[in-house]
A = this chain, B = another copy of it.
């Protein structure tokens, strides 16, 4: 009797575990197909890949950083990027610097204003096989972008197929 009770308990626990995993995967699939929903820890300490400036409605200055796997791949010119590579684009407002311009004696200086968003590309060729092996993330004030925004990442980046969907080149 004790043995049967034990087996039932084990089966119940196992069942709950299986259900939890299935529910979790299912919710994850519905919510975020190919989307990165957690900010990779420590990204602000990563090394520099390059810098960029977008005019128009974006009006941004960006620092593009890479984790160790990404930096190594960049420096070795390795394509496609290996699993584990993560690229972070830190976007700031492109704002004139009155204090710098005063010293220069002319209006020419733009600096990083408030942080606008942080975007990530996470390489995992199995997990993100439907989107070229990359998971895409966009965070504003620490919160992930909604699906309407996120579904635009892959088709745009997919136009850079020759460079494994990555726009940013390494700055020496």
Closest Cβ of chain B to A42, distance in Å, is: 11
B53 near A61: Cβ-Cβ < 8 Å: yes
Assembly CA distance A108 to B56 (angstroms) = 6
* Residues in B whose Cβ lies below 8 Å from that of A58: 108
Total interface residues on A, CB under 8 Å, equals: 40
* A50 within 8 A of partner (CB): yes
* Residues in B whose Cβ lies below 8 Å from that of A169: 111-112
Q: Count copies of this chain in the complex.
A: 2
A171 near B92: Cβ-Cβ < 8 Å: yes
Interface 0/1 of A58-72, CB less than 8 Å to B? 100111010000000
A110 near B55: Cβ-Cβ < 8 Å: yes
Q: Within residues 13 to 63 of chain A, which ones have a CB less than 8 A from any CB in chain B?
A: 44-48, 50-56, 58, 61-63
* Residues in B whose Cβ lies below 8 Å from that of A115: 171-172
Name which of A50, A107, A112, A159 has the most chain B CB atoms within 10 A of its CB: A112
Closest Cβ of chain B to A61, distance in Å, is: 5
Of the residues B48, B52, B109, B110, contact of A48 by C-beta under 8 Å: B48
B112 near A171: Cβ-Cβ < 8 Å: yes
24 A-B pairs in the complex with CB atoms less than 8 angstroms apart? A44-B47, A44-B48, A46-B47, A47-B47, A48-B65, A48-B90, A50-B63, A50-B92, A50-B112, A51-B63, A52-B61, A53-B110, A54-B108, A55-B107, A55-B109, A55-B110, A58-B108, A63-B63, A63-B171, A90-B171, A99-B160, A100-B167, A103-B156, A112-B169
